Amino acid sequence: MRERVIINDVGPRDGLQNQPKILSSAEKILLIESLLAAQISHIELGAFVSPKAVPAMAGTDQIVAAFDKDQAEFSVLVPNQKGYDMALAAGSSTMAMVAYATQGMAQKNVHMSREQAADATIAMAAQAKQDGTTLLATIATSFECPFDGMADPGIVADATARFLDLGVDMVVIADTIGAGNPGQVRSLMNRLVRENSADKLACHFHDTRALGMANVYAALESGVRRFDASIGGLGGCPFAPGASGNIATEDTVMMLEQMGFDTGIDLDALMRASDLAVELTGTAPGGRAKAWLKPHLAKQHLNKNDNLK
């Protein structure tokens, strides 16, 4: 019996939000359908943010409306109460709110202090309980901030415990700019798992400095069993133009499956989803393991066919 690890594909949100090309709602729906075809059970569909500020996320209500809730755990990012209300009205039942480990990123993203953003998350948790919705809280820049430098692990630990105590359903520890190293990840996630419960924690990594898979492995060693990843490695880093984006779903799934974990994901269909992500956005190549994975899977098929003779 293999142990399950959950992959939450954030490509349609964090990935597309950081791509130069803006997809139509129809294209986004195609991409999400390809993720569902690969048996991905958790998908972040989009964000209820100002379409002026983030044009790539316009039309998220159409995306939410296009899918049945029983197909997967669909979440949407909401930056504030207004976003939450829009998401609720659109029929979303899992909202992802963003809190911050550092003042600089909180000010830059939502013009609030870190403490104000944390209070807004807690208020939203109370609201979510009333509405019967699920609230995920992402703690951005949990390792390093492009404005303030290194994050304080104590602040992340306090926020995590407080959020979980006050009704947040899951805390996502985010290395927003891909600056964390596996030593840091191991140290912080060991502490958070010890002080809380591993099944209330997830990690969100970027591959900006090529450390994405090392950080996933470090968090796995600490007991984390849920990860955000992005199909085709869609995304990027506004602070390092040209650098890699979110960790690629295909790289992550391949590593996990090779390590003996069960992701429930169909790798063949995932390759097709990755091809589609690359085709739709014009970015290439999607995911670094793909150059190996695609011919390998094709060869497996050949062998299967041979056996049928």
Interface with a copy of itself (CB under 8 A) = 178, 181-184, 207-211, 213-214, 216-218, 221, 237, 240-244, 248, 251, 254-255, 258-260, 287-289, 291-293, 295-296
In degrees and rounded to multiples of 5, residue 100 shows phi and psi of -140, 140
Q: Which of 78, 139, 164, 237 is catalytic?
A: 237
Q: Which helix (H) or strand (E) is 72 found in, with range?
A: none
Please identify, using beta-carbon distances, which residue of 226 and 288 lies nearer to a copy of itself.
Answer: 288
Cβ neighbours around 23 below 10 Å, total: 18
The nearest distance, CB 286 to a copy of itself, in angstroms, is 12
Within the chain, residue ranges assigned H as helices are 16-17, 25-37, 60-65, 81-90, 103-110, 114-131, 153-165, 182-195, 212-222, 249-258, 267-281, 290-308
How near is the Cβ of 292 to a copy of itself at its closest, in Å? Answer: 4
Nearest Cα residue to 215 out of 241, 247, 254: 247
Active site residue 237: yes
Q: How far is the CB of 293 from a copy of itself (least distance, A)?
A: 7
Q: Which residue lies nearer to a copy of itself by CB, 45 or 185? A: 185
Q: Which is nearer to a copy of itself, 194 or 296 (CB)?
A: 296
CB 187, min distance to a copy of itself, A? 10
Of 42 and 288, which has the nearer Cβ to a copy of itself?
A: 288
Under the phi-then-psi rule, with left for phi > 0, alpha for psi from -120 to 50, and beta for the rest, what region is 242? Answer: left
Closer by beta carbon to a copy of itself, 138 or else 215: 215
What the block records as the tokens of 291 is: 């150059």
Q: How near is the Cβ of 48 to a copy of itself at its closest, in Å?
A: 30
Nearest CA to 209 out of 232, 249, 184, 237 is that of 237
Supply φ then ψ for residue 230, to 5 degrees: -130, 130
Q: Which active-site residues does the annotation give?
A: 237
